[in-house]
Structure 1
Amino acid sequence: MAKINSKVTVLAFERKIDISDAYLWQTNSQKENALKEPVIVREKSVRGTISNRLKNAIASNPAKLDAEIEKANLQRVDAAFLNEDCDTLIASFTCKILPFTGKPSVCNNQDFQAALEETVAQYKQEQGFAELAKRYAINLINARWLWRNRIGAESITVTIKNGEDTLTFNQARDISLNDFDFESPDLTKLAAWIEAGFNGKAFTLLQVEAQANIGNGQDVFPSQELVLDTGKNKSKILYTVGREQNQAGIHSQKIGNAIRTIDNWYPNAAFPIAAEPYGAVTTLGTAYRQPKDKQDFYSLFDPWIKEGKAPKKDEQHYVIAILIRGGVFGESGKE
């Protein structure tokens, strides 16, 4: 392969795992033929206490501290919880797997595009999508995508439909979030569906549903909206979806982040993180793939495509996972 010396200033990929928002419902697992009802987002007003760090001048003066504590911390917030006669949270969404050939949605360097498609074709022939498909499948069946709702559940059952076929995983709560060692015939079948979708051999639209037993009347945790308008009169706004008024939901982006939490190939990995160009985990304020270590996406991607220097097998999986994720990866034309 001839080296490509010119820059690629315009390069973008469309995502190949297309996720819908999740709709949150509730039911009573103890009642036969119980109806499924939407989880409703409600507003409530609370009087909180002062708990933030105070200036030393206030914290060290008992009188000033008492005066500060007496101030009412009034808040209007959204909340979601099960009805008193419901003990089970139901969350459902769809996941479409699109064919991946390595062809970008836009690229202003035809030599680079040809080299890219050739490289991906070689990856498909030598490695295939089996490893990535298995990891995505595990994150579907272990209900990682329920986030905080998963933590407080006694048990979780995940059901996945693909056309007329249905797979049921009754012990989703017991499948580890820290590795990808789980094996089962149904997992193998689900991974094969995903792999067929990437290879363009089948139209793969998965209908995913989780039933989590969290207890009667317990709190539910939908996505929380980012409040950019400081004039809002509520300090917490929860995401709502669907035709039902104020039905709770989870952002498609949040579910997608959970499904692509497959990267445990980064240096000194202790747990999987979402496939990101710099291994960014915003909740920890850390980038686990530093450019100085030459383990970030661009340090692996550019030599592989431009110079034909293939990275290690695991690093190839990581690079392809980023391309499946999608995004804009063009180089700056000013440097």
Structure 2
Amino acid sequence: MAKKDKPIATVLAFEKKLVPSDGRFYGVAWENKYGPAAPLKLQEKSVRGTISNRLKKPLQDDPLKLDAEVEKPNLQTVDSCALGCDQDTLKLHFTLKILSGVEKPSACNSAEFSASYAQAAKAYIDAEGFTELAGRYAVNIANARFLWRNRVGAERIEVAVRVLNQGEAQSWVFDAKTVGTHSFDLNHADIAALAAKIAAALSGKTEFLLLEISAYAQIGLAQDVYPSEELVLDKGNSKSKKSKILYQIDGIAGMHSQKIGNALRTIDTWYPAHDDSQNGAGPIAIEPYGAVTSLGKAYRTPKEKADFYTLFDRFARGGKLDHKNDEHYVMAVLVRGGVFGESGKD
């Protein structure tokens, strides 16, 4: 079929199927972590820093000019957050909803394309049942990847998961330190059970799944914790403005739902450079071009025919992908959601 004869959807969108809430920060003592938890508040600090940025050539070559530059105060007002003097454990609490219906776009202006895609998606669901993706999402819940920087340096980490659907009372507790962050082997019965619940929701066997997730990280008495940092678009030149603004929800330190979602979908080990020890970055978040902004690199490029659009256009029109992993990746992007309309121009 010539390209101009292929069904084209210039309006095409998918709603996300993993829907986390914002996370809230609490402080507790490890020995009583399931007891009452105190909400953590943000604290404002005014600090006098030193000049530490790279210097221009004239300053590097002139010690007197360097001394004069160093004498200038680097005054900053920043937000910070820390546990109390009787608290050694951070509690991060959020809910996660998993929805069905990935085989139905939320918007599509081509009935022919919609029918072709639905057939391909249903064939994937019938064959795979979302078991591979669900297993990886379950591992990222169990290993507490969503704690981000708060996971580093923690002596013990425990993740408690409870099903909130009416009429269900399942719950699990995971020792996150024993669950790896670089592989997705379902060698734990409880992780496999959680994955089965997620797969049932994604594949439409159940309408949705609602989970309550609480992670406990023992990081030490009165230690700093790290909520999400707000993006400051206009800092201006005023010294009175904060140089770091942390996220809070009704006065409670928090983590953006987007950041939690990014951690949960960090499951892509199928990109071309993954097995290359020099160029691979371990599991990366599911993105159309495999973008890792912290490294300034896209691991899935159209040149390598590994990006989402190249694979999706073939998959959605009934074409056969070269590897089963490509199908997993395409469906994971659709679970992520987004707007993927195609240009109507040649």
Q: Which interval holds the TM-score relative to the shorter structure?
A: over 0.9
Task: Indicate the percent of aligned positions where both proteins have the same amino acid.
Answer: 53
Offset at residue 236 of structure 1 (A): 0.2
- Alignment RMSD: 1.8
Residue 229 of structure 1 deviates from its aligned partner by 2.1
Q: Which deviates further from its counterpart, 24-33 or 213-222?
A: 24-33
Where do residues 97-108 of structure 1 align in structure 2 (5 Å cutoff)?
A: 97-108=98-109
Counterpart for residue 198 of structure 2: 194
Please point out which of 184, 188, 209 is paired with 1:184. Answer: 188
Q: Name the CA distance, whole Å, in 2 between partners of 1:266 and 1:327.
A: 20
Structure-2 separation of matches of 1:46 and 1:212: 28
Q: Which residue of 2 aligns with 1:10?
A: 11
Whole-Å Cα distance in 1 between the matches of residues 225 and 212 of structure 2? Answer: 22
SS, match of residue 243 in structure 2: coil
- Aligned counterpart, 1:112: 113
Q: TM-score, normalization: structure 1?
A: 0.95
Deviations 1:275-334 (A, max 9, x none): 100000000000000110000001111012225233410000000000010000011234
Q: Which residue of 2 aligns with 1:23?
A: 24
Which residue of 2 is the match for residue 210 of structure 1?
215
Map Cα deviations across residues 126-184 of structure 1 (whole Å, 9 max, x no partner).
Answer: 22200000000000010000000001211100000013111011x20232111112411
Q: Is 1:320 matched up with 2:331? A: yes
Is structure 2 residue 41 aligned with structure 1 residue 40? yes
- Determine the C-alpha separation between the residues in 1 that align with 2:130 and 2:242: 45
* Conserved 8 A contact 1:175-1:182: no
Which secondary structure state, in structure 2, belongs to the residue aligned with residue 63 of structure 1?
helix
C-alpha displacement at 1:200, in angstroms?
Answer: 2.4
Distance 2:172 2:61 in 1: 61
- After TM superposition, give the deviation of residue 7 of structure 1 in Å: 2.7
Which region of structure 1 is more displaced relative to structure 2, 259-268 or 227-236? 227-236
> Which SS does the other structure have where 2:141 is aligned?
helix
Match of 1:238 in 2: 246
Stretch deviating more after TM superposition (323-332 or 307-316) = 307-316
Distance 2:67 2:105 in 1: 62
Alpha-carbon separation, structure 2, partners of 1:190 and 1:13: 25
271, 284, 296: which one aligns with 2:295: 284
The secondary structure found in structure 1 opposite 2:139 is: helix
- State the match for 1:79 in structure 2: 80
Q: Label 1:86 to 1:278 Cα distance change in 2 as closer, same or farther (>3 A).
A: same
Tell me, yes or no, if the aligned pair for 2:247 and 2:253 is still in contact at 8 Å: yes
Shift of 1:84: 0.7
TM-aligned CA deviation for residue 94 of structure 1: 0.5
Cα offset for 1:32? 8.7
d(CA) in 1 for partners of 2:107, 2:322:
24
The separation in 2 between residues aligned to 1:130 and 1:32, in whole angstroms, is 33
Report the CA distance shift for 1:299/1:29 in structure 2 as closer, same or farther (over 3 A): same
CA contact (8 A) 2:113 2:316 kept: yes
Does 2:262 match 1:257?
yes
Q: Structure 2 unaligned runs (5+)?
A: 275-279
Paired residues, what number? 331
Q: Measure, in 2, the Cα distance between the counterparts of 1:66 and 1:19.
A: 50
Q: Contact 1:150/1:173 (CA < 8 Å) preserved in 2?
A: no
